[in-house]
């Protein structure tokens, strides 16, 4: 067996151990929180773009979803389980963002 295959098997075994140790409700909560973070970031990027274009972002009713998501995020406690899931699954970056690349228009 090649070294690469052995490495992949060890990596998969470590992932399986982490997956078994994490409870489904905790995973769901972390996913929900990350989704809300993404909504907030996307709406902020749209709000900034509208402002740069000289348009009033308060007229864009769909951006209220970002404000609602921000309010919901503020009410969710950031438990140790949520932080460890986010860290273990690599869903957040050093700056706290959850998306892969900056939005460019």
- Let me know if residue 71 belongs to a domain: yes
Asked if the structure places residue 18 within a domain, the reply is no
pLDDT tens-digit readout, 24-73: 777 788 888 889 999 999 999 999 999 999 998 888 888 888 888 888 88
Residue 15 lies in a domain: no
Would you say residue 13 lies in a domain? no
- Res. 92: pLDDT tops 80: no
CA distances from 76 to 17, 30, 70, 79, 93 (A): 27, 10, 10, 9, 20
Query: pTM of the full predicted structure?
Result: 0.52
Structure confidence at residue 67 (pLDDT) = 87
Which of the four pLDDT bands, split at 50, 70 and 90, describes residue 14?
confident
Q: Does residue 5 sit within a domain?
A: no
Query: What is the rounded CA–CA span in Å between residue 47 and residue 56?
Result: 9
Number of domains in the chain: 1
Average pLDDT, the chain: 76
> In sequence order, what are the residues at sequence separation of 6 or more whose Cβ sits closer than 8 angstroms to the Cβ of residue 14?
none
Q: Is residue 6 part of a domain?
A: no
CA 99, CA 84: separation in Å to the nearest integer? 18
In a domain, residue 7? The reply is no
DSSP 93: -
Query: Which range marks the domain in which residue 76 is found?
Result: 24-105
Instruction: Report whether pLDDT(86) > 80.
Output: no
């Amino acid at each position: 067996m090649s070294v690469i295959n052995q490495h992949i098997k060890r990596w998969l075994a470590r992932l399986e151990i982490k997956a078994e140790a994490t409870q489904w409700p905790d995973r769901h909560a972390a996913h929900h929180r990350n989704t809300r973070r993404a909504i907030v970031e996307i709406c902020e990027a749209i709000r900034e773009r509208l402002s740069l274009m000289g348009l009033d972002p308060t007229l864009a009713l769909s951006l209220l979803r970002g404000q609602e998501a921000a309010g919901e995020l503020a009410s969710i406690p950031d438990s140790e389980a949520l932080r460890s899931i986010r860290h273990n699954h690599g869903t957040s970056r050093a700056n706290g963002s959850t998306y892969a690349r900056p939005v460019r228009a």
